Structure 1
């Protein structure tokens, strides 16, 4: 069996910054990133709890989760496990037990370009899980794999240490170096949209909103 390649862990992001993004809509974040980033074809399977954290990236062979188990021994509280499973939908990469391990170790959520199983248990839980589909067939456990290298999930490139945010609309990731400016821009958009909704409710909306929806 092949051993995974382990790259250095990225620097952590301030918990205050992560918490600030947890309450922001991914749609608004995406709007202020020129609508470019965003995983296509991945959706939430949990109870709808929003997710925000730092990307701990994993690349694995299609249908094999050995390196994901390795990653669970290395994750830090607040990490989001972002798994490039090559978009394979023939075998589940994680299920209820691996989610329980991840949650116990402080992981903020899973983002997988692949399949999951035990969907009924995952659907009832507040632990965020975003994936491509569901299948009962279990994974191989042979490797190879790579930890903390740039990956692609749903066509979105995610680098180790990126901030990852997810909600009912999907998942977006971005460089933490732009976090403060992005945070200000998203909050400004929220205020503008709240004002638009107020005028609609009051019957004074003029239709002049050149917004991003």
Structure 2
């Protein structure tokens, strides 16, 4: 890995990212063909947060948050910091002081494949954070890494300037060039879900709405009474 800071990354309109984020991670994930989910290992530090932004990526060494300090300077309004480490780490690389500096620059949150701390303070200030761990373990500021280079989290590639969405369901990456397609597909998905919700509220069953009932015999599923079941064993 080169120890480099890339300063001129591409970015999408934060307002358009906000439009996509409003649909939620689960809906966008489905709309994009069930791609982009960064895995179950990233959870919100506090519930109820929903955000989206342009990825500013950071590569740190375990137990060392030097490059997050470097990355703060590269952040703009509408960005979202995405941090990973060169090998697995649960140390608390990110906390309330970083959040204060990033909020001043208009950053919409942080996703870190390591640990966060100061959870109560993050919740009180309303700064969204997703992490692989919560840990009070402190860090040093000594080892060079990289800012705004492609990174991998949960087996998914995240490039600088890609769209990152995050809410209670997890974190998703949408390639920057797919943002408008994602908005269009998510709008269609949301409309479909609204129609299904209305049908379910009226008593329709998913078995019938999704055409599943006629498939049950093909899958070997049979219906029988309790008497028939007990006599068949």
Partners of 2:95 and 2:137 in 1: CA distance? 11
CA distance in 2 between counterparts of 1:179 and 1:69 reads 29
CA contact (8 A) 1:38 1:156 kept: yes
More helix by share: 2
| Structure (1/2) with the larger strand percentage | 1
* 1:78 is aligned to 2:44: no
Using the TM superposition, name which of 103-112 and 202-211 deviates more.
202-211
Q: Which has the larger radius of gyration?
A: 2
Give the equivalent residue in structure 1 for 2:89: 88
Whether the aligned pair in 2 keeps the contact of 1:46 and 1:124 (CA below 8 Å) is: no
CA deviation vs aligned residue, 1:56-78 (integer Å, no higher than 9, x gap): 01111111100100111121111
Report the TM-score, using the length of structure 1 for normalisation.
Answer: 0.91
**Structure 1 contact 56–79 (Cα < 8 Å) conserved:** yes
Partner Cα distance (2:199, 2:3) in 1: 56
Quick one: distance in 2 between partners of 1:206 and 1:34?
21
Q: By how many angstroms is 1:122 displaced?
A: 1.7
For residues 79 and 117 of structure 2, what CA distance do their matches in structure 1 show?
22
Q: How far apart, in 2, do the equivalents of 1:44 and 1:73 lie?
A: 24
Contact 1:42-1:130 within 8 A present in 2 as well: yes
Measured in 2, the distance between the counterparts of 1:87 and 1:24 equals 31
**Is the partner of 1:53 in helix, strand or coil?**
strand
Q: Which moved more, 1:164-173 or 1:202-211?
A: 202-211
SS of 1:208's equivalent in the other structure is helix
Please provide the CA RMSD for this pair.
1.8
Cα distance in 2 for residues equivalent to 1:209 and 1:124: 43
8 A Cα contact 2:45 2:134, kept in partner? no
Moved segments of 4+, more than 3 Å: 208-211
Residue ranges of structure 2 left out of the alignment (5+ in a row) = 212-233
Aligned residues: 208
**Cα deviation, residue 206, structure 1:** 5.7
- Map residues 48-197 of structure 1 onto 2, 5 A cutoff: 48-85=48-85, 86-89=87-90, 91-197=91-197
Deviation at 1:105, TM superposition (A): 1.2
Q: Structure 1 pair 209/25, CA: closer, same or farther in 2 (3 Å)?
A: farther
Which residue number corresponds to residue 35 of structure 1?
Answer: 34
DSSP 3-state at the match of 1:64: coil
